[in-house]
Structure 1
Amino acid sequence: MQSSPAMAGREAGGGPAPAPACVLGIDLGTTSVKAALLEGTERGLVVAGSCSRETQAYTSSLEAGPQGMEQSVRRIIKALNECLAALPQQQLQRVTHIGISGQMHGIVFWKKDKGCKWTEGGTGPTFEPEEVSHLITWQDGRCSPAFLSSLPLPQSHISLATGFGCATAFWYLKKSPDFLKSYDAAGTIHDYVVAMLCDLKKPLMSVQNAASWGYFNCTNKSWNTDILEKSGFPVHLLPEVGDPGSIAGTTVCAWHGIPKGAKVGVALGDFQCSVYSCLTEKTDAVLNISTSAQLTISMPLGFQPPETPDPSSAVTYFPYFSGDYLAVAASLNGGNVLAAFVDMVAQWTEELGLQVQESAIYSKIINAALAQNDSKLSVHPTLFGERHSPEQLASVTNIAVSDLSLGHITRALCRGVVENLCSMLPVPRLLETGVRRVLGSGSALARNQVLRQEVERVFPFPVVYGKDVDAAVGAAMVMVHRK
């Protein structure tokens, strides 16, 4: 890991060295916000402070109904402000660079001149959202397969899917055009934060986030403007695009004690930053199971993705850093499937006139599954479909009377989550690319021993945990290595 330039034992004159500079990393995730401070020491980079807050930002969608998945930007920024207020003020005052990542694919709209208002808070100036829409997230389901098939084909290696920013904008164009007239800027939630911090007159988006929106050509780093304009798409809402790791601007005023003029990087994909925080060898595969699930390998130097998308392919090539790509099996079914199962059990117990906390249910079903070494049940857990097969439903087969306990069902469900991901990027392909070990990460994997057991059963490689996969730390590391 590269050391911070601020590291110095003592000045040439023999006096005490100045306090080392700090780098702030922020991740605006699907369910929580995290901030991490990195500081240079004689031992290298260390995390000098971190904080996370649940956003509790989900809200109803007036236009899309139950298919819509939207979040309140105000609640997200509130959680961000709480995180920063909890970090050590002494280190915040030494921040020179800020790296920001967040949940990909989603879109938020705002007014350029009225996107936020700056106010004085307890730890210094901060901003509050003003004329801003809800965030329509990557989980949004308003764009049906029929609707997507009515849209022009993109000139991109990535297939269009519901929850992608450009698909959502098309939906508003066709279903609620007056909505778009209220705004003159758009971006991901993390693009919005960068634009507010730097007072950008035109939003700036990294190649990583642009690719996640659809209608973006990674080879020539440009939007499919000709294709979009012919369909009446509001191309004026599309952000400018910069390279991952580049500087978007500087803070226009002090922010929670961070000095005015701190450099802010162009917003990055949370997925890429998570990988960046742990991937040190090209022979490693990264397995992440959080809300969703991903299995990732590095592509060889010089790899270029195909020119046209393959809608049936379960593997997507994500732009990484310095022109490199990751091959990613990105499943929509991970910890959210287990959460849905717990919710179902809680609902059943309530219908039976019992009251059990969901946290208690989770621990009990995991303990029950640990008592069962195996289960003949076969669970195909695609409760939320998959991007390459959006209409796919979940199923349970091979049901026998002997395997109906909560323990058997929970173990089969955990195995199904892992096997589903492995079917998207099979073991033979991992072997072909020289994978030697799997780095296991993610909140669902960390808290679920049964899931870890099934990972070790499915993959014929050593599985290493505790690699501190962390998008906020990764975003900060990018800024350290590129400043």
Structure 2
Amino acid sequence: MSFLGIDLGTGSLKTAIVDEDGRELAAASVAYALDTPQPGWAETSVHTWWSALCEAAARLPADLRRDVQAIGFSGQMHGVVLIDADGEAVRPAMLWPDTRARHLLDQWPEPQPNPVAPGMAGPLLSWIVRNEPESARRTRWALQPKDWLRVALGGAIGTDPSDACATALADPAGVWDLALLDRLHLPHEWFAPLAPSYAAGGTLSEKAALALGLRAGIVLATGGADTPCAALGSGLAQTGDALLTTGTGGQIVVLAEEAPAAVRGLHRYRAVSDHWYRMAAMQNVGVALERVRGWLGYEWADAYRDAFDTGADTGLTFLPYLTGERTPWLNPAARGGWLGLALDHTRGTMMRAAFEGVAFSLRAGLDAIRASGASVTALKLAGGGSVDARWRQLLADALNVELHAVDCPNAAARGAAILGGLASGHWHAGDLPSLAPGATRVASPQRDDALGEPLAERYARFLDLYGRVESWFDETSSH
């Protein structure tokens, strides 16, 4: 008996099959590019996602696929997929790094229960109504990415609180805010009914089963947002457990039994279990490093080698805010770049500064979490962007935490698979703490205290640089 988890990410689709004890048996992933048809836009065709799913499934052992009893779903948060009455996509999916709607954020006056970013479903849908009336006319449902995928596999129309609460169209518990929908002129009927992340949400169709090499009729879990799925898959189960995920973006999550107090710059969302979580969300982690790697003409192995063979303090500072930033700045107009370049700097110097700038942006998010009252001295570390030991060491030193790397690069997919097991009745909510050992720890970096003071000085310089140039972004980011 096994369960399949599918994580529909921004830059790749990941799959994982776990056994009846939650241990990963097989995994596969397929990468794809983010489309930017106009400056500030971030889109992907759903056909790209479907092709990636078929390819990833084909890479999983056929005998394990035949044994799958249920499927769970995890997906990138905030974006939106518009489909018509026949289930066909009206236009490419709009995704969380998208900043086209940043001039519409005044429709959400402060204070808000959660920060509102332009790449959330609310601002994006408001933009659609204003700028693409034909798309709006054809729309029957406005779905979250993972919900589109479940429906494409034969599942029911629906969503869960962990995704709904992050749309800027629902209350913190994930219930649609009908008065807000009216104020934004968004039809109520676009928004899917709510169900728990671990509830059954239909069964796999014959057509999808044939395409994926699975058995038709197996249960599809409703699924959840990728951040709380990664928390579940990484073994977070108790109040106070904390996780750093490094993918396209970065998130720092701290579980809470009750809804945390509202704090500017931080999010408080529903988990895929019965917990809540406090979250710092940083948009520019893998997306910034990947773009810098491309600009500098590196393969990844060479990028890591040159960056970490370079002396640490080169006088070069990198702001990674290529797509604006959420925590702690809440500034969609923020932009990035290097300052301090000299003739003796190299590609390796610039790559090193990029890694350090991303680490400092994560530190700024962690500092916001700490300032909110959460004591965070240790973090689990998961995500495809945390596989290199030298990068992990820099993170431990820059964040000034005990960093416990988890051998679960497919944490969100594993969490999704666990939701499939819950939806099929194999596990129950009380079983979740016992599944934590399935995400095993690997050798984790020890903080290098000798680097503490120099890193602290460079971090202060990083913050100072952002403060000095912040007022310049509004004048330049639209060009």
**How far off its partner does 1:153 sit?**
4.5
Check conservation: 2:381, 2:406, Cα contact below 8 A.
Answer: yes
Question: SS where residue 22 of structure 2 aligns?
Answer: strand
Question: SS where residue 242 of structure 1 aligns?
Answer: coil
**How far off its partner does 1:207 sit?**
0.6
Structure richer in strand, relative to its length: 1
Q: 2:96 aligns with which of 138, 141, 152?
A: 138
Question: SS where residue 174 of structure 1 aligns?
Answer: helix
Note closer, same or farther for the CA distance 1:131–1:322 as it changes in structure 2 (3 Å cut). Answer: closer
CA distance in 1, matches of 2:116, 2:77: 14
Report 1:386-425 matches (<5 A). 386-387=325-326, 388-394=330-336, 396-397=338-339, 399=340, 401=342, 404-425=345-366
Q: Which amino acid aligns with 1:465?
A: A
Larger Rg: 1
Map of 2:394 onto structure 1 = 454
- Structure 2 residue runs of 5 or longer lacking an equivalent are 426-479
**How far off its partner does 1:171 sit?**
0.5
1:32 aligns with 2:12: yes
Note closer, same or farther for the CA distance 1:148–1:401 as it changes in structure 2 (3 Å cut). Answer: closer
Map of 1:229 onto structure 2 = 182
CA distance in 1, matches of 2:289, 2:27: 27
Q: 2:171 aligns with which of 213, 217, 234?
A: 217
Check conservation: 2:279, 2:369, Cα contact below 8 A.
Answer: no
CA distance in 1, matches of 2:371, 2:255: 10
Question: SS where residue 272 of structure 2 aligns?
Answer: coil
Map of 2:254 onto structure 1 = 297
**How far off its partner does 1:442 sit?**
2.5
Check conservation: 2:66, 2:215, Cα contact below 8 A.
Answer: yes
1:54 aligns with 2:68: no
Greater shift, 410-419 or 424-433, is seen at 424-433
Count of equivalent residues: 416
Check conservation: 1:283, 1:436, Cα contact below 8 A.
Answer: no
Note closer, same or farther for the CA distance 1:403–1:315 as it changes in structure 2 (3 Å cut). Answer: farther
Q: Deviations over 1:454-481 (max 9, x none)?
A: 2122233322224314211111123334
1:467 aligns with 2:407: yes
Report 1:145-156 matches (<5 A). 146-149=103-106, 151-153=107-109
Note closer, same or farther for the CA distance 1:181–1:390 as it changes in structure 2 (3 Å cut). Answer: same
Note closer, same or farther for the CA distance 1:132–1:93 as it changes in structure 2 (3 Å cut). Answer: farther
CA distance in 2, matches of 1:428, 1:52: 32
Question: SS where residue 163 of structure 1 aligns?
Answer: coil
1:77 aligns with 2:55: no
CA distance in 1, matches of 2:143, 2:357: 35
1:438 aligns with 2:379: yes
Structure richer in helix, relative to its length: 2
Question: SS where residue 76 of structure 1 aligns?
Answer: helix
Check conservation: 2:322, 2:336, Cα contact below 8 A.
Answer: yes
CA distance in 1, matches of 2:258, 2:138: 43
Map of 2:322 onto structure 1 = 383
Q: Deviations over 1:83-115 (max 9, x none)?
A: 223323323223221101111111111123x22
CA distance in 2, matches of 1:154, 1:198: 40
Check conservation: 1:154, 1:227, Cα contact below 8 A.
Answer: no
Question: SS where residue 27 of structure 2 aligns?
Answer: strand
CA RMSD of aligned residues (A): 2.7
Map of 1:5 onto structure 2 = none
Note closer, same or farther for the CA distance 1:365–1:60 as it changes in structure 2 (3 Å cut). Answer: closer
Check conservation: 1:441, 1:467, Cα contact below 8 A.
Answer: yes
Check conservation: 1:427, 1:459, Cα contact below 8 A.
Answer: no
After TM superposition, which residue ranges in structure 1, 4 or more long, deviate above 6 angstroms? none
CA distance in 2, matches of 1:175, 1:258: 41
Q: Which amino acid aligns with 1:439?
A: K
Check conservation: 1:109, 1:183, Cα contact below 8 A.
Answer: yes
* % same residue: 22
Q: What TM-score comes out, normalization by structure 2 length?
A: 0.79
